[in-house]
Structure 1
């Protein structure tokens, strides 16, 4: 994708993201219809559906040849990443949205033939937009984010959710316990998009999850790339953007130790 086309799509995507966020804020206290998907804790609301429909409708009207991967059913059935693809999570952190009315984000990534070109993560209630265009740096609102500094593994803070404790976890529990005891601290924010943004900003040094969908991470990968961060699956392999993956995004200075000494050694 050339720079002119990337800029044009970025400006349009940014406009839609901010408009959708404004609508969510205006309706944040409205009654919600809440249902579940794969399990009782996998929530979806009318706001998720309405927001995704807003994006899908506008994308298809404005860019009829573009494709969509999305969470709530308005996307296309894709078997490849050929073409221009919007990868959308209308509300990343739905449980936070329902219970806290904050700490959730709109996540929009635009990919061209499998390459991340544009990433937008909008912390709706804080009115903070993380954004990036490939090769042009990453920003928090209007402030350019610096390249990630060297970081000691023992001084690192990692974003970890609880799924490594589950019976079907891909990693041995004792290895994960050792990891938690070795790093400076761990955090769980409940929104993968905001955890990717935290890695890009340098307020956490890595984020790892054992099972996550492309729409949760597509925008974040683009943004983390632009500050020198690295994103792979949890074992150092390329992320498959057409299916769920165990994913690690982090400061590059801790990547090798985290993967080689913990993830690969602890793999079941």
Structure 2
């Protein structure tokens, strides 16, 4: 409610898509559309007291403009956009290395990995290693920092909107699991990865 109140104060004509139900229900991406996830990784927040985030993003006419992911525990805000670059607080981030799937760690949705959905089991086997973080924001951060070559999970738009802004600005590929553009107003099986890992993962998913 606090975040939405401030957005409405300085951008009163904008629409807000928010997880907790305090936003709007836009039917198009025309104009200013904000995405707000006040607690990403609720179970992690409640049980681990770690690996959760606050995420905000601005899109204008369906174009990614600005994104913020706050690593609350470590007090680091990952922020920026295509016009300014990406920063961790005041430190500018360089694009991560373009490693292939077998050269790095892949992050996957635990439930879908457990049941072998979307080829996740083969993707995990083909990677150097795999992890289940259980939250979108911390997982996006690891890919942005080059600590993982890819991340895939089923997400709502507030889960991936900020991460997509930051990832695309750093030259990472963001798509659905079939390699198609994400629908910003519905749930998607999201894949963010380096160019090489993205290609590897799509090949495994399709096989």
What TM-score results when the alignment is normalised by the length of structure 2? 0.95
Partner of 1:105: 53
Q: Which runs of 5+ in 2 are unaligned?
A: none
Partner of 1:161: 109
Change beyond 3 A, Cα 1:233–1:128: same
Please identify runs of 4+ aligned residues in structure 1 that moved more than 3 A: none
Preserved contact between residue 100 and residue 200 of structure 2 (Cα < 8 Å): no
Preserved contact between residue 106 and residue 130 of structure 2 (Cα < 8 Å): yes
Aligned residue for 1:85, secondary structure, equals: strand
Greater shift in the superposed pair: 234-243 or 152-161: 152-161
- C-alpha RMSD of the superposition: 1.5
> Which structure features the higher share of helix residues?
1
Partner of 2:168: 225
Aligned residue for 1:119, secondary structure, equals: strand
**Residue 139 of structure 1, CA deviation:** 1.0
Question: Within 1, Cα distance between the matches of 2:100 and 2:20?
Answer: 40
**Residue 166 of structure 1, CA deviation:** 6.2
Aligned residue for 2:140, secondary structure, equals: helix
Partner of 2:39: 91
Q: Which runs of 5+ in 1 are unaligned?
A: 1-52
> Which structure features the higher share of strand residues?
2
**Residue 67 of structure 1, CA deviation:** 0.9
Bigger Rg, structure 1 or 2: 1
Q: Give the paired residue count.
A: 207
Preserved contact between residue 120 and residue 130 of structure 1 (Cα < 8 Å): yes
TM-superposition CA deviations, 1:113-154 (whole Å, max 9, x none):
111100000011110110112232111111111122231331
Partner of 1:79: 27
1:16-165 aligned within 5 A: 53-165=1-113
Greater shift in the superposed pair: 249-258 or 158-167: 158-167
Partner of 1:189: 133
What TM-score results when the alignment is normalised by the length of structure 1? 0.74
